[in-house]
């Protein structure tokens, strides 16, 4: 069994091994998006004040993960 954080760290490490600089740059953008969505969408209770998660934010998070195309 592997926890989500370990899986995410391994995924980032694998993506950063890409030799094609254009793909690497695209992966870094996606990684940054997913990092943001992990904080906002996947962990809303970590904020001092409750946040409302919008349907569009959830869809953008799904789209960012799908963009990895792994």
Tell how far CA 42 is from the center of its chain. Answer: 10
Given this model, what pLDDT does residue 63 score?
93
d(CA 25, CA 3): 27
Length reported for the chain? 70
d(CA 44, CA 62): 16
Number of domains the chain contains: 1
* 22-67 pLDDT per residue, tens: 999 999 999 999 998 888 777 766 666 666 777 888 898 899 989 9
**Does the pTM of the predicted model rise above 0.85?**
no
Q: Which residues span the domain enclosing 22?
A: 4-67
Q: What is the mean pLDDT of residues 5-21?
A: 93
Given this model, what pLDDT does residue 52 score?
72
What is the number of alpha carbons within 13 Å of residue 47 lying toward its C-beta?
12
Taking the CA atoms of 3, 26, 57 and 70 in sequence, report the sign of the dihedral they define.
negative
């Amino acid at each position: 069994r592997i926890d989500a954080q370990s899986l995410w760290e391994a995924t980032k490490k694998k993506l950063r091994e890409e030799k094609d600089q254009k793909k690497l740059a695209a992966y870094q953008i996606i990684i940054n998006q997913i990092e943001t969505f992990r904080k906002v969408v996947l962990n809303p209770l970590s904020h001092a004040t409750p946040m409302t998660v919008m349907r569009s934010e959830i869809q953008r998070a799904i789209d960012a993960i799908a963009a990895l195309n792994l």
